[in-house]
Amino acid sequence: MNRWLWGVLSMGIATGISGCIDTGTETTDPSLADGSWTWHLPPNFPTPAVSADNPMSEAKFQLGRRLFYDTKLSGNQTFACASCHHQDKAFTDGLTVSIGSTGDVLPRNAPSLMNVAYNSTFTWVNPDLTSLETQMAVPLFAEKIVEMGVNDNNRAEILARFADDADYLQRFKGAFPDEVTPVTFDNIIKAISTFQRGLLTGNSKLERYQRGEVSLTAAEQRGRLLFNGEKAECFHCHGSFNFNDQVTYVGKRFEENLFHNTGLYNVGGTGDFPANNQGLYDFTGRQTDKGLFRA
């Protein structure tokens, strides 16, 4: 059964946070296969949209949670998903640019995984990565800039690390009971994506204020008014319940995925960004897309 983030934390991923608050909206996911999953959502949070071929289940969530923190998933067994997504940093790494398992430097930093179930595109800029499952292939299998370092030479070895582990084998069979040979990269991706969809948070002071539970200080009220007013104009890109303008959920009508230029760079006076970080332009080739990134 899914909990809000602090409930997930209390199951032993980290210490210092305890308790499971079930005051949110409880809904059964329409994609459920085995009835083991119930969303416990923060108030006013819609039900996340889930890939039809990867329905939520408790067994899959728990397997994905274990895989997320396991360095055996990387080629050299030194790196886990959690190496770039630290739980104590809102599942980011706190770096300007992230470093892969073999020392390769990535062009950008690791995005937060909080409420990632509601994203309509993934990474900072790729418009073609529209599901967690498709996104997972990038850190796993990328060879130009290595992250996890899975390749054709070590795939069989990596799968054997899990297939030869009795506990893992039992977990894979429990998560994918209809498969004779469940230890596959496809199922690894499905399990980790399921875990990531369960990382929900909706209990910031602002959200508690919106629910009428706390009051804001005078400085916080000034900040809230600036954020939501035309003077600072933050709300134009960060006005949704998930503080961005790329959100999807059950029942959401299709809208164009938006990308934005904050004017951070103007290389050569032509509006260019650094050569390896041109934003949406790297995918479309359109001059007007230079410097456009996801909010």
210 lies in some domain: no
CA–CA distance, 241 with 207 (Å, rounded to integer): 9
Task: Indicate whether 25 belongs to any domain.
Answer: no
Task: Let me know whether 92 and 172 are in one domain.
Answer: yes
**CATH code of the domain containing 84:** 1.10.760.10
Domain annotation covers residue 74: yes
Same domain for 264 and 191: no
Q: How confident is the model at residue 271 (pLDDT cuts 50, 70, 90)?
A: confident
Mean confidence (pLDDT) of the chain: 88
For residue 141, what are its two tokens?
A: 């299998």
Query: What DSSP state is assigned to residue 181?
Result: S
Q: What is the pLDDT of residues 229-253, one digit of tens each?
A: 999 999 999 989 999 999 999 999 8
Q: Is residue 271 part of a domain?
A: yes
Could you list the residue range(s) of the whole structural domain that residue 265 is in? Answer: 259-295
SS3 content of the chain, % helix, strand, coil (to 5): 35, 5, 60
* Domain's final residue, options 167, 195, 223: 195
Query: What is the pTM for the complete model shown?
Result: 0.88
Residue 43 clears pLDDT 70, i.e. is over it: yes
pLDDT at site 208 = 94
Residues with Cβ < 8 Å from 293, sequence gap 6 or more?
A: 124, 125, 259, 260, 261, 262, 279, 280
Query: How many folded domains does the chain comprise?
Result: 2
Q: Is residue 167 located within the same domain as residue 266?
A: no
Decide if 21 is inside a domain: no
